[in-house]
Amino acid sequence: MKIGIVGTGMVGSTAGYAMALLGVGTEIVLVDANPALARAQAQDIAHATPFATTVAIRAGEYPDLDGAAVVIIAAGVGQKPGESRLALLERNVEVFRSVIGGIMKAAPDAILLIATNPLDVMTYVAQRISGLPPERVIGSGTILDTARLRSLLGDHLGIAPNSVHAYVLGEHGDSEVAVWSSAMAGSVPIVSFAEQIGRPLDEAARTRIAEQVKGAAYTIIEGKGATWYGIGAGLARIVGSIADDERTVLSVSMVNGDIEGVQSVPLSLPRIIGREGIIATLMPDLDTQERAALKRSAEVISDYTSKLRF
């Protein structure tokens, strides 16, 4: 399967590197507004493949995306000093007009996978500009926030993170919702599991862990300027589920018809991912507080999407 990546900074290149090492796809094409950067990233990643897999990776231009089944969009502009978030969003809308125009001309049947922040709003923008069905425009959403939650819970409980089944829903951002009411460790409700092994998850512990999940990006950005390894691996995981039609349940973003009364809002819920994109959306059992928090998260995102001009 051919995969495209538009935007080859740290996020885009790390996603390409992760896919190459994991053997996701057969060919990866890197496209960037700076062709020299795309060429350098492609060569550097290609030099790692003899140690891992036989995935072909090369730089190209938009026409080279012809036949791509998935195209990751990691392109965008940064915020200028004193610039409002809405002004930044409007500039990124113009970037996406150009990027998606080039992609759709070359690969009109591709699934779009969005990695540009603010993630949920840009997923909405990509769906509106491309005109593709919502299930074929996927935002990486809270896949990374969910991974962080599971990692922290694994540490707290002294078990492997992949034995933790818990989700972060809503916005990939400050209004995200850690869902405790349906969280499990193995086949046991996670609070009960914690009590049984003498590592209780009381309200204070749950609040601390949820705040650590929210604050993880800020901590990483403070230390090294940006995050890329976690999201790069998350993008590779999403593409892998599409490529192999795995039908894996992942917390990703798409434009939803109605979430708690909020219309046409992009946010993350657990979704089944396969060859055609998002096959189905699942709504976990939420308690009253979690439902209210999910509605607030939807309203935060909708406040921005409703102000965008197309």
**Would you name the residues annotated as active-site residues?**
172
Measured from the Cβ of residue 290, the count of other Cβ atoms closer than 10 Å reads: 19
Q: Tokens 């349906």 sit at which residue?
A: 182
Strand partners, 4: 29, 71
CA torsion sign for 85, 8, 126, 261 is negative
Task: Locate 196 and state its tokens.
Answer: 């049984």
Burial class (CB in 10 A: 0-12, 13-18, 19+), 62: buried
Q: Identify the CA nearest to 234 among candidates 69, 89, 72.
A: 72
* Contact assessment for residue 177 and residue 293, using Cβ atoms and an 8 Å cutoff: yes
What is the phi-psi region of residue 251: left when phi exceeds 0, alpha when psi lies from -120 to 50, beta otherwise?
beta
Enumerate long-range contacts of 155-160, CB under 8 Å, 24 or more apart.
156/194, 156/199, 156/201, 156/205, 156/209, 157/185, 157/190, 157/193, 157/194, 157/197, 157/199, 158/197, 158/199, 159/185
* Contact assessment for residue 236 and residue 22, using Cβ atoms and an 8 Å cutoff: yes
Cα angle value 130/134/136 (rounded, 5°): 75
Burial class (CB in 10 A: 0-12, 13-18, 19+), 223: exposed
Q: Identify the CA nearest to 107 among candidates 138, 71, 66.
A: 66
H or E element: which one contains 167? strand 164-169
